[in-house]
């Protein structure tokens, strides 16, 4: 289950940074590489195989400039906080 992540203006303590960076190793989105609460905002369209709905047949992505990055936490956000 995803946890809500809030980074204050004061940044993160070292323990919190370490925990978040560990989450990137296990929970990072396979499509964008970040952490986010809902579906990946980078995906424009996804088609699953009819015989196995867990198996992806095709993915169409938004162009980098056309998707909202604001709801995604990146490793560099954690390192730089």
Q: What is the pLDDT of residue 81?
A: 63
- Assess if residue 36 is contained within a domain: yes
- What's the domain range around 59? 14-79
Given a cut of 90, is residue 53 above it in pLDDT? no
- pTM to 2 decimal places: 0.73
- Assess if residue 5 is contained within a domain: no
- Assess if residue 56 is contained within a domain: yes
CA separation (Å) from 78 to 10, 43, 46, 75?
12, 23, 29, 5
Residue pLDDT, tens place only, 1-46:
455 555 555 667 888 888 889 999 999 999 999 999 889 999 999 9
Distance separating alpha carbons of residues 3 and 35, to the nearest angstrom: 10
- Assess if residue 39 is contained within a domain: yes
Q: What is the pLDDT of residue 4?
A: 53
- Assess if residue 26 is contained within a domain: yes
CA separation (Å) from 60 to 28, 40, 41, 49?
19, 12, 11, 15
CA separation (Å) from 70 to 4, 37, 56, 67?
14, 12, 26, 9
């Amino acid at each position: 289950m995803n946890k809500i992540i809030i980074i204050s203006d004061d940044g993160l303590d070292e323990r919190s940074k370490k925990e978040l960076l560990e989450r990137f190793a296990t929970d990072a989105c396979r499509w964008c590489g970040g952490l986010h609460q809902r579906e990946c905002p980078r995906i424009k369209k996804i088609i699953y195989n009819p015989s196995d709905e867990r198996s992806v047949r095709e993915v169409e992505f938004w162009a980098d400039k056309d998707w909202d990055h604001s709801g995604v936490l990146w490793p560099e956000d954690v390192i730089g906080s």
